[in-house]
């Protein structure tokens, strides 16, 4: 992205933001296409593959953040692509697929250091293949290709590693694995002061289940149970199919990462966005669960019931996405309850501030406008230049500030200011941002 900005000599921040949003969404779109190709190859069924893509697109938070979350959603998209090439390798055992898997896995590492979990999955596949058909030379060759290509690609796409790669990688790993973050986290109606207070072990599982469509979680659980039963019914013999190997790896990948974060009490905030990439196995296994239910429905009428449930799930989610637009990033399903503003953090991205600033620019013709923004953000850089230059952000309301923008992340109760001029309210009384004129208060 930076290279494109330099190449085309882009300097206006509004244009730069829109360009970055376009590139981020484009990669998300590619991830969706690759997910389709993976499901099409597996099930040889266009309808099932398209339904899998709908599972991905109709995750409101992912759809919203696919425009601006250039790390977490980007990592999720590349993780799907990596799993696609791993799937191809499991079936073909061709080195070209292993190299492509290493390439994408390296990009995952370069996006976030936690992507290191992906290449070992390839090594596990090699070990399983060896147990099924012992061949030391082939195993050693493919393992060497996996290790060397992953190392080379990781260095190529991470400029910091071009000089003293091992030293700088170790430093980056130390930094990323011991991230210090201090602040308040609102979870299920309670504020936790991090790091003095540890978040409950169920923080991530609860966030996953309440912030994604319920049907996805149900189908994932069904597929996981079926996979585990199938695995033990084969008694770990050579009868294990390539499809079963892939599904077992997906379960291991999802539960292993979530379990590790819980075990080490990892630094997690802003919901579970740092672990979005773990949802790739959930998406794929959800389709597996759906396919199983459709294929084993005893009667045609049973399949109609399945399709009816699917239609209702998609329709209600799409309606929610339309009602929340453009703030699908604050989506919660019915499991989250009706008191969202008091139970969970909502617009922690502070995207709603942009709408607030646009409103102020529209109603206030002053040449200079002093504003105070709770949790100061760069979102104002997306304003047109003529409006952007009029705003001056101050860090104290006593410094001649005219407007205050609040998004309630650290303030569940309503503010005491009287002159409220603009609100953003979603789904009933879920307020995510308010603009106050505090000039005379």
Establish if 391 belongs to a structural domain.
yes
Task: Judge whether residue 48 has pLDDT over 90.
Answer: yes
Task: Judge whether residue 257 has pLDDT over 80.
Answer: yes
Establish if 303 belongs to a structural domain.
no
Establish if 56 belongs to a structural domain.
no
**Mean pLDDT estimate for the chain:** 89
What is the pLDDT averaged over residues 385-401?
Answer: 85
Establish if 99 belongs to a structural domain.
no
Establish if 407 belongs to a structural domain.
yes
Query: Could you tell me the CA-to-CA distances from 76 to 275, 277, 280, 369 in Å, in that order?
Result: 9, 4, 6, 40
Tell me, what DSSP letter sits at residue 413?
S
pLDDT at 169: 86
The pTM for the full model equals 0.92
What is the pLDDT averaged over residues 206-219?
Answer: 95
The set of residues, in sequence order, having a beta carbon less than 8 Å from that of 212 and lying 6+ positions away, is: 59, 61, 279, 282, 333
CA 302 vs. chain centroid, Å, equals 34
What is the pLDDT averaged over residues 307-315?
Answer: 92
d(CA 83, CA 105): 9
What is the pLDDT averaged over residues 306-315?
Answer: 92
Task: Judge whether residue 54 has pLDDT over 90.
Answer: yes
Query: Could you tell me the CA-to-CA distances from 56 to 104, 239, 249, 280, 352 in Å, in that order?
Result: 20, 32, 20, 9, 24
Tell me, what DSSP letter sits at residue 200?
P
**170-212 pLDDT per residue, tens:** 888 777 766 667 788 889 988 888 888 888 999 999 999 999 9
Q: Report the phi/psi class of residue 9: left, alpha or beta, with left for phi > 0 and alpha for psi in -120 to 50.
A: left
What is the pLDDT averaged over residues 373-395?
Answer: 85
Higher pLDDT, 188 or 441: 188
d(CA 424, CA 255): 37
Query: Could you tell me the CA-to-CA distances from 356 to 270, 351, 432 in Å, in that order?
Result: 22, 9, 11
Establish if 373 belongs to a structural domain.
yes
Domain total in the chain: 1
Beta strands in 273-402 (DSSP E): 369-373, 391-393
Task: Judge whether residue 238 has pLDDT over 60.
Answer: no
Establish if 406 belongs to a structural domain.
yes
The whole domain housing 420 covers 347-437
Establish if 429 belongs to a structural domain.
yes
Lowest mean pLDDT among 14-23, 116-125, 231-240, 359-368: 231-240
**123-156 pLDDT per residue, tens:** 999 998 888 888 999 999 999 999 999 999 999 9
CA 69 vs. chain centroid, Å, equals 8
């Amino acid at each position: 992205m930076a290279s494109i900005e330099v190449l085309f000599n882009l300097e206006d921040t509004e244009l730069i933001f829109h360009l970055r949003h376009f590139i981020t969404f484009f990669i998300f779109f590619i991830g969706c296409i690759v997910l389709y190709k993976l499901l099409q190859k597996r099930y040889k069924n266009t309808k099932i593959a398209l339904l899998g893509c709908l599972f991905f697109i109709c995750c409101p938070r992912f759809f919203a953040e696919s425009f601006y979350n250039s790390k977490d959603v980007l990592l999720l998209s590349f993780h799907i692509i990596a799993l696609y090439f791993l799937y191809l390798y499991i079936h073909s055992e061709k080195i070209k697929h292993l190299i492509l898997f290493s390439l994408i896995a390296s990009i995952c590492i370069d996006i976030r250091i936690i992507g290191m979990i992906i290449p070992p999955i390839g090594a596990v596949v090699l070990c399983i293949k060896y147990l099924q058909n012992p061949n030391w030379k082939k195993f050693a060759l493919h393992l060497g290709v996996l290790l060397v290509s992953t190392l080379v690609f990781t260095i190529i796409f991470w400029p910091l590693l071009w000089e003293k790669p091992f030293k700088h990688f170790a430093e980056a790993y130390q930094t990323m694995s011991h991230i210090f973050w201090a602040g308040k986290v609102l979870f299920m109606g309670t504020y936790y002061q991090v790091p003095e207070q540890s978040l409950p072990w169920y923080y991530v599982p609860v966030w996953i289940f309440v912030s994604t469509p319920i049907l996805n979680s149900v189908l994932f659980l069904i597929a996981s149970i079926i996979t585990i039963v199938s695995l033990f019914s084969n008694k770990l013999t050579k009868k294990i199919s390539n499809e079963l190997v892939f599904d077992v790896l997906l379960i291991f990948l999802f539960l292993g990462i979530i379990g590790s974060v819980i075990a080490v009490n990892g630094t997690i905030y802003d919901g579970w966005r740092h672990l979005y990439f773990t949802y790739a196995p959930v998406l794929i296994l959800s389709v597996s669960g759906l396919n199983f239910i459709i294929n084993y429905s005893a009667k045609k009428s049973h399949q109609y019931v399945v399709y009816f449930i699917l239609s209702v799930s998609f329709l209600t989610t799409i309606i929610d996405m339309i009602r929340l637009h453009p703030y699908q990033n604050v989506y919660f399903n019915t499991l989250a309850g009706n008191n969202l503003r008091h139970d969970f953090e909502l617009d922690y991205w502070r995207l709603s501030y942009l709408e607030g600033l646009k409103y102020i620019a529209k109603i206030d013709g002053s040449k200079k406008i002093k504003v105070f923004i709770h949790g100061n953000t760069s979102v104002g850089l997306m304003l047109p230049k003529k409006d952007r230059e009029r705003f001056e952000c101050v860090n104290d309301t006593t410094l001649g500030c005219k407007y205050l923008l609040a998004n309630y992340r650290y303030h569940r109760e309503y503010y005491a200011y009287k002159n409220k001029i603009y609100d953003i309210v979603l789904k009933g009384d879920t307020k995510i941002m308010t603009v106050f004129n505090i000039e005379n208060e």
